[in-house]
Amino acid sequence: MARRVNYLNNKDLLKEIAKSKNTYSYYLDESYEIFDFIVPSVEDIPKHIDDAKAARAKRIKDQMVEKLKSEGKSTRGKDAVHVDPNSIDESELVFRVMTFDHIPERVEPKKNPKKEADYKEKVNFPPYKHYAYVDDKVKEVGRSHWKGGLENGYFSTDHGKINNKLAFMYLKLVERYSTRSNWRGYTYVDEMRGQALMQLSQIGLQFDESKGANPFAYYTAAITNSFTRVLNIEKKNQNIRDDILQDQGVMPSFTRQLEHEMNMKKMLEEQKINTYSDFNEKD
C-alpha cells in the first residue's frame, strides 16, 4: 500500500517555503541553501555554534527516520536513530542573518518611514544572508533577492517563483478551509477561494522563520481574512439590492425577510419585558 502523504503540516510547509525562497537567492554552493540556525547578527554566530549543531543533528535524524519509514523499517526503541551533535564539524554549519544590508535604497522613501524596510526597495519576503565557516573564518556564502555572483551579481526580486508543491499546498489549505460548516453554505464560496489563493500568492513567502515555525497558522489567518472580506462585500451588496427592491415595492431577499422577522420578535419580547417591569413598579 502506498504511504499516505500529508501536505498540510508545518514541517513540509517550512521545507517548501525555503525551497521557493531559494529560487530568489544566490549561494556559492548548494550545500549552503539550508540554514541550521538564525542569529541576530554575524557577531552572534560563535555564540550559537552548539545550537546550530543540535539543529543540524535533529534534521539529519529526522531524515534518517523518514528514510527508514519509507523502507518499511521500524524506528522504535530507545535511540533507534541517534545523531551526536558533537560529531558535526563547524565547517558544515550554515547560519542565517536577517538583514537589509544588500537591499538597495528606495528612490523615493515612504511617507513617514518607521522601520528599515521603509527606506529600502520593496521585497516579497524578509531578506537575509547566509554565513558559514570557510577556512576557519566566518564568510558570507549566500544572500536572498540576488542574481549572479556575490561580487558581480545584482539585486533582483522577479527571477524566482513559488514552487509547484507549495502552490499545491495553498490549494489544499483553501479547499479544506472552505468546507468548514460556517463557509460551505455560501453561494459565492468559489469567489472566497479565489480571493484567498490570490492573497496567499502575494504574502505566502513573507512568513518569517526567525519569528516562529508555524506557517500553518499564518496561512490560516490570511485565508480567514480573505473569506471574511468577500463575505462583508457580498453582505454590503446584498443590502443595497434589498433596499432597491423594497423601494420598488418588491419582496426583498429571504435573508432580509428573516432578519426583519427576527427583529420584530426581539421588539415584541422587549415590549413584554418593559410592560412587566412597569406593572411591578406600580405595585
pLDDT value at position 267? 79
Q: Give pLDDT, residue 94.
A: 96
- On whether the CB atoms of residues 145 and 157 are closer than 8 A, the answer is yes
pLDDT score recorded for residue 204: 94
CB 7 within 8 A of CB 164: no
Q: Residue 202 in contact with residue 59, Cβ under 8 Å?
A: no
Please give the pLDDT value at position 250. 75
Quickly state the pLDDT bin for 1 (edges 50, 70, 90): very low
pLDDT digits (tens, 9 = 90+) for 160-210: 999 999 999 999 999 999 999 888 888 889 999 999 999 999 999 999 999
Query: pLDDT exceeding 90 applies to what percent of the chain?
Result: 59
Mean pLDDT in residue range 52-69: 87
CA nearest to 163, candidates 125, 205, 134: 205
Question: Among 112-121, 188-197, 201-210, 259-268, which is the least confidently predicted range?
Answer: 259-268
Mean pLDDT of 27-33: 94
**Three-class SS of residue 227?**
helix
Of 5-19, 137-151, 172-186, 250-264, which gets the smallest average pLDDT?
Answer: 250-264
What does the pLDDT read at residue 272?
Answer: 72
